[in-house]
Amino acid sequence: MAKLLILESKQEFQKTLLTWFKKHQRDLPWRGIDDPYRIWISEVMLQQTQVKKVVGYYERFIKRFPDVQQLAAATLQDVLKVWEGLGYYARARNLRKAANIVVEDLDGVIPNDYSNFRQLPGVGDYSAAAVLSITFNAPYAAVDGNIKRVLARLFIMETPINDGRSAKLFQQKADDLLDLEEPGLFNQAMMELGAIVCRPQSPTCLVCPVNTFCQAFQAKRQDEFPLRLKKEKAPEHQMVAGVIYKGSEVLIVQRPLDGLLGGLWEFPNGRIAEDETAEEACIRYITEVVNLSVTNIKYLTRIKHAYTHFKIVVDVFQCDYQSGEVVLKGLIDAKWVKLTSLQDYPLPRATHKFLDKLIL
Ligand code: SF4
């Protein structure tokens, strides 16, 4: 029988988990520090992203922007360039915006109270709880996907973890379980347990430090949890992109700041309509979004890329500038650049997939 998490065994659970964490936690660059700026950056990067991917990005980001003042002073392009490839670019844009607010309105001091910190752009319940508990030992339970999974198994929770309506329930369970003396360490311990022991597939229950408390393990049902709502299959969009050459330069355009890949640079592109060929679509987009006429259009390559909610298949064409002045539609900037300068601009991963096909 799993030990019920009544007060006495709750304290036993907390003690057992913390003892395990202090001994087995991974050595990560944001561990063992209490600098709110660095903890904040790490927590934002860790959202939706695996630790092993984050480590390198975190180290480069902190090297380039070691404090909130330097982040606030950076251009959006600099910030996006360091973030390039990490995805979910709104996180980077919001961090820079929030850094500006901290520097301009809050004397450069990151708020140590929940309501003020939570008001900064991009800060949600999870980041506020994680940053404030880890940095200031504030008594807030952080609930991310890892922690939801652990809770769902510990308590045999029959609510799907990806159902928005279940958020409150998971938060209540986490609040109830939180160690109020060491909330920061406890939150990290729960995350670590989810990441390295109570993994999505094949949790290593036999060596789990809290298996005597776990209702799913005791009932041999750990593989049944967490429950999930079935996701719709991600749609696949057929797209085209056009690399326009003008002498030794190509035209790149900047996406609007809000929305997917906001602020990144790319080649003019769009979705192919049902009644047109890829080549026709390419010419149409170039006319529509940058107002140019092109000639010598040639097929270059096809790439595929998956985003969280959809996939794209992009036929890439190259062509030569023929006439017209650039007039933008739905974009915020455009530049003629040498291919060798493309690396100075933050580009989507999908664009990186065909850069080596371009002729220098
Ligand atoms: Fe997760 Fe297994 Fe530990 Fe339960 S016993 S918390 S299912 S690893």
Predicted confidence (pLDDT) per residue in 78-123, tens digit = 999 999 999 999 999 999 999 999 999 999 999 999 999 999 999 9
CB distance 111 to ligand 1 below 6 Å = no
Average pLDDT on 348-355 reads 96
> Given this model, what pLDDT does residue 6 score?
60
Q: Which atom of ligand 1 is nearest to the CA of 211?
A: 5
> Given this model, what pLDDT does residue 257 score?
93
d(CA 148, CA 119): 24
CB distance 155 to ligand 1 below 6 Å = no
How many angstroms is it from 272 CA to the middle of ligand 1?
48
Beta-carbon-side half-sphere exposure of residue 353 (alpha carbons within 13 Å): 15
Q: Which atom of ligand 1 is nearest to the CA of 214?
A: 4
**For a pocket test of ligand 1, which of 154, 157, 199, 215 has the largest count of ligand atoms closer than 8 A to its C-beta?**
154
Residue 315 and residue 278 in contact, taking contact as beta carbons nearer than 8 Å:
yes
- Whether the per-residue pLDDT at 359 is higher than 80: the answer is no
CB distance 203 to ligand 1 below 6 Å = yes
Pick the catalytic residue from 8, 12, 43, 192.
Answer: 43
**For a pocket test of ligand 1, which of 149, 155, 198, 201 has the largest count of ligand atoms closer than 8 A to its C-beta?**
198
- Place 2 in a pLDDT band, splitting at 50, 70 and 90: low
How many angstroms is it from 17 CA to the middle of ligand 1?
12
Average pLDDT on 177-194 reads 97
- Whether the per-residue pLDDT at 1 is higher than 70: the answer is no
- Whether the per-residue pLDDT at 164 is higher than 90: the answer is no
How many angstroms is it from 83 CA to the middle of ligand 1?
34
Q: Which atom of ligand 1 is nearest to the CA of 197?
A: 8
> Given this model, what pLDDT does residue 39 score?
98
Q: Whose CA is nearest to atom 4 of ligand 1?
A: 214
Give the model confidence (pLDDT) of 83-95 as tens digits: 999 999 999 999 9
Average pLDDT on 131-146 reads 96
- Whether the per-residue pLDDT at 173 is higher than 60: the answer is yes
How many angstroms is it from 214 CA to the middle of ligand 1?
6
CB distance 213 to ligand 1 below 6 Å = no
Give the model confidence (pLDDT) of 252-269 as tens digits: 999 999 889 999 999 999
How many angstroms is it from 217 CA to the middle of ligand 1?
6
CB distance 146 to ligand 1 below 6 Å = no
Residue 43 known to be catalytic: yes
CB distance 153 to ligand 1 below 6 Å = yes
How many angstroms is it from 211 CA to the middle of ligand 1?
6
> Given this model, what pLDDT does residue 7 score?
60
Q: What is the residue whose two structure tokens read 């949790």?
A: 203
> Given this model, what pLDDT does residue 108 score?
97
State what percent of residues in the chain have pLDDT above 70.
97
- Whether the per-residue pLDDT at 4 is higher than 60: the answer is no
CA 74 to chain centre: 20
d(CA 180, CA 141): 9
Average pLDDT on 153-164 reads 94
Residue 110 and residue 95 in contact, taking contact as beta carbons nearer than 8 Å:
no
Average pLDDT on 335-345 reads 95
pTM of the model: 0.90
CB distance 190 to ligand 1 below 6 Å = no
Average pLDDT, the chain: 95
> Given this model, what pLDDT does residue 48 score?
87
